[in-house]
Amino acid sequence: MSTAPDDLWQVRRMRPHDVEAVVQIERSSYSHPWSERIFRDCLRVGYRAWVVDRTGRSVAGYALASIAVGEAHLLNLCVAGAARGSGAACRLLDTVIAQAEAEHADELFLEVRPSNRAARRLYARYGFETRGRRPNYYPDRHGREDALVLSKVITI
């Protein structure tokens, strides 16, 4: 699926030298960001990881997914504040879905905060549906917040 207005984005595999830029975006985007170590461990254990950028410019966003035994899980999807609203997340999500298809995953799962309107709208556009709720899954300023579990059936 492609809903993005801006096709200048290019997606490529995340490499170790991208992690520094990725961590900066992560820290400026989340109240409880992943550490640099988590990103490096994800690359080390072979999770699928991509960055999005414009030719010759710095990393603007990233996605990580685990894909195994017929199931894919979107672990993180994030776009730098200044780059939002021009289709970068769509480019990344298109790539994750294509990879899940290529690896014969039947379904792509993810967790999202109920309060995250931008992300929920993005996932709704892609046909994700709510499958359940994990109580007290995320830390937040007031304690904990539930996670919604969403999934999309991958059609081959």
Ligand X SMILES: CC(C)(COP(=O)(O)OP(=O)(O)OC[C@H]1O[C@@H](n2cnc3c(N)ncnc32)[C@H](O)[C@@H]1OP(=O)(O)O)[C@@H](O)C(=O)NCCC(=O)NCCS
Of 13, 15, 125, 131, which lies in the binding site for ligand X, with binding defined by CB under 6 A? Answer: 125
Q: Is 88 in the site for ligand X (CB under 6 A)?
A: yes
Which lies closer to ligand X via its Cβ, residue 32 or residue 156?
32
- Of 11-19, 41-49, 85-93, 100-108, the segment contacting ligand X by CB under 6 A is 85-93
Q: What is the DSSP letter of 2?
A: -
Helix (H) / strand (E) element for 111: namely strand 107-112
- Tokens, residue 91: 């480019």
Cα(124)–Cα(117) distance, integer angstroms: 10
What secondary structure does DSSP assign to 74-89, as a single string?
A: EEEEEE-GGGTTSSHH
Of 103, 119, 130, 149, which lies in the binding site for ligand X, with binding defined by CB under 6 A? Answer: 119
Cβ(65)–Cβ(48) below 8 Å: yes
Q: Which of residues 18-77 bind ligand X (CB under 6 A)?
A: 29, 77
Of 70, 85, 114, 127, which lies in the binding site for ligand X, with binding defined by CB under 6 A? Answer: 85
- Which residues would be at the binding site for ligand X (CB under 6 A)? 3-4, 29, 77-79, 84-90, 112, 116-119, 121-122, 125
